[in-house]
Amino acid sequence: MEKIVIASASMTKFTDHYDKDIRHLASEVIASTTLPLNLSPKDIDALVIGSMASQLFTRQGNLGALIAQENYMYNASAFTVEAGEASGQAAVRAAYSLIKSGMHDYALVVGVEKVTDVLKLPKLQSIVGYVNMDSRYEVDMGLTLASMYAMMAKAHMKKFGTKREQIASVAVKNHFHGSLNPLAQYRNKLSVEKVLSSEIVASPLTLFDTCAAADGAAALLITTESKAKELTDEYVEIKASTLAHSPVRLADRENLYSIPSIKLAAEKAYEMANVTPDKIDVVEVHDSYTITEIIALEELGLFKRGEAGKATEEKQTYFNSSIPVNTSGGMKARGYPFGAAGVAQLVELYLQLLSKAGDRQVKDAELGLAQAVAGTGGTSVVHILSTV
């Protein structure tokens, strides 16, 4: 069976793009992904858009057709994928499947979101809740993602003795990585004291335990190895692409300190790629809240349960340490345009595996894992990439 690869990747800076709408952001990364390969619009026969809530944010739906039209991709089967906050990586999985099936030659994945100058914060928070949580039994009852993750943080602290400072150290590490990424939204460094003293969002989590919304887009060109070789000698293999579910409602879970869908998707991915967690060289995980990253690392099997917080505090997850995590800065510092975030995770792995990550380059990186989640874990997606 022929290898499925990423032949090109790019992203915009994640920030407040006041001068660009959603189609302009998408078109920018389409050009920067395809032009270096001398691909024309007619060569792209599949366009998959990942966007969490474009209809609610910008009153624009059917992005697949719109963005295909804007970029003269008249031969492309174009559609949009929505899976809450995991929409970007879910779109990658859809594109991977299109190439794997043999139905298409070139699938372009674009993750995109336009948020910051079209919605005020209360409305934004409401939409994020309704898209990712159970609207009837959670959002309408007054729960928010912040309050849910606060409960999960307290449960983790009680069960494993995880310290508040250890949770805060996730933000410190991700901002350090973000300071090395020229496309990151926030390039300032943080201290544990700064995180702990910031405004409380939902105790014990504070403002600097959360990520901020941004505008932006990211893109990947997915094809077969034989097709990629006609275009470039720089590509990485998609070794695994998996998606799994947990109960959307947090109250229906067995406990509050784990996210079963991450574990299930990871187990499927390791089996598909025929690798074990100890072989992973670089990781991009969902860190919409600092506690999310800690739980994700444990569910992925990279640390035993209860040990990821301590490991982060001890700097084991820095880019130049044993298990580099969120070398891009993560959602916390790189920025969080919802639909683009999961695709950007894979852009970072692409750069790392091709030794193009600059000051944050992980030495001898050959195997990378990216994980995205919707809400508190109703959906999780995992991809494993490797050098070829």
pLDDT of residue 116: 84
Predicted confidence (pLDDT) per residue in 289-313, tens digit: 999 999 999 999 999 999 999 999 9
pLDDT at residue 119 in the model: 73
Helix 290-299 to helix 164-178 angle (10° resolution) is 100
Could you write out the three-class secondary structure of 190-209? CCHHHHHHCCEEECCEEHHH
- At residue 79's C-alpha, the angle toward residues 76 and 84, to 5°, is 150
For a pLDDT cut of 70, what percent of the chain falls above it?
A: 100
Beta bridge partners, 245, equal 379
pLDDT tens-digit readout, 176-228: 999 999 999 999 999 999 999 999 999 999 999 999 999 999 999 999 999 99
44-102 residue pLDDT tens = 999 999 999 999 999 999 999 999 999 999 999 999 999 999 999 999 999 999 999 99
Q: Which two tokens stand for residue 184?
A: 């990151």
Extents of the domains making up the chain: 4-118+213-229
Q: Is the pLDDT of residue 173 over 90?
A: yes
Instruction: Show the tokens assigned to 289.
Output: 């809240």
Give the CATH fold of the 4-118+213-229 domain.
Peroxisomal Thiolase; Chain A, domain 1 (3.40.47)
